Amino acid sequence: MTLPPVALTCGEPAGIGPEIAAAAWAALRGTDTAFFWIGDPRHLPAGTPLQEIAAPGKAAAVFARALPVLPHAFEGPATPGRARPEHAQGVIDVIARAVDIVQSGAASAICTAPIHKKALIDGAGFAYPGHTEYLAALAGAPRVVMMLASDRLRVVPATIHIPLAAVPAALTPALLDETLRLTHAGLMRDFGIARPRIAVAGLNPHAGEGGAMGHEDTALIAPVIEALRGEGLDITGPHPADTLFHEAARARYDACVAMYHDQALIPIKTLDFDRGVNVTLGLPFVRTSPDHGTAFDIAGTGAAAPTSLIEALRLARRMARNRAAAP
């Protein structure tokens, strides 16, 4: 099956996005993970072998010899390590352009380089909490979930960027039900797993220990799991989180749904820090991203490792292939 290339957005020009894009092309140029970069060619590192293309369909023909660039002009030069207000609208427009391209079928997936949310808010009044919410709005997706994925672990936090004290109130049966359903559907469609096995972490230590350490596990989490099991989904839990992430435990599930941000992200960043990939489930197209930020402190120095971006591009390609083959 021949797939269109992956669209890679430029992200924040003052961050490490442009340099890791060039490094990822150098690493992947001899593979079938063809991609094109959307951005201003002036922002790429000096000496990058690049070729501007008029349309995404031209990328595959030049990928082996040059980084295909779909030009998107920005106002002003890039200043590594220092975001410029005049770049903010360009960053936002590149994301929207990538969505139009993937929805037209000219790209098989989107891989997004890191953005700097404050720079977008200050420079262009960006009205979304982050990348994911903007993508969901552009796609008309009513609900999406974040998955962190590597070869060693896939994990989904039911709640994300909220204070720990706010988690119990935010964790409703409807939210958990929707998160589990989207995770199950994503594992089937995007990861090609015919019968996904999902483990669910408890909220409290020892999953509440029968109510001795909180009632959310038995009163809220367990009934949602039982209802979905009644529909035929292979879901277990709630499990004590401190016994869910060792090697033998991980062999028993395809993904773990955790209750809050750190409960999910600490295990994967400990197990596979450099190769973790941010995946958005619930969109009508495949979207991945490296699991790191703009790294202004090292931008332009050549010290940034492209490993997570390389893995994000590879995973985007695999997910697109699985989605194309799905019934």
pTM attached to this predicted model? 0.94
Any bridge partners for residue 278, and if so which? 148, 289
For the chain, which ranges sit under pLDDT 50? Answer: none
Which segments within 158-240 are labelled E, that is strand?
A: 197-201, 234-239
Q: What is the pLDDT of residue 1?
A: 62
Contact 167, 258 (CB under 8 A): no
Whole-angstrom distance, CA of residue 72 vs CA of residue 37: 10
* DSSP tag of 24: H
DSSP strand pairing (154-157 vs 35-39): unpaired
Which segments within the chain are labelled E, that is strand?
A: 6-9, 35-39, 50-52, 67-71, 109-112, 145-149, 154-157, 197-201, 234-239, 255-258, 277-281, 287-290
Per-residue pLDDT reduced to its tens digit, 99-130: 999 999 999 999 999 999 999 999 989 998 88
What is the DSSP annotation of 230-292? Answer: HTT-EEEEEEPGGGSSSHHHHTT-SEEEESSHHHHHHHHHHH-GGG-EEEEESSSS-EEEESS
Length of the chain, please?
327
Phi/psi for 155 (5° steps) reads: -140, 140
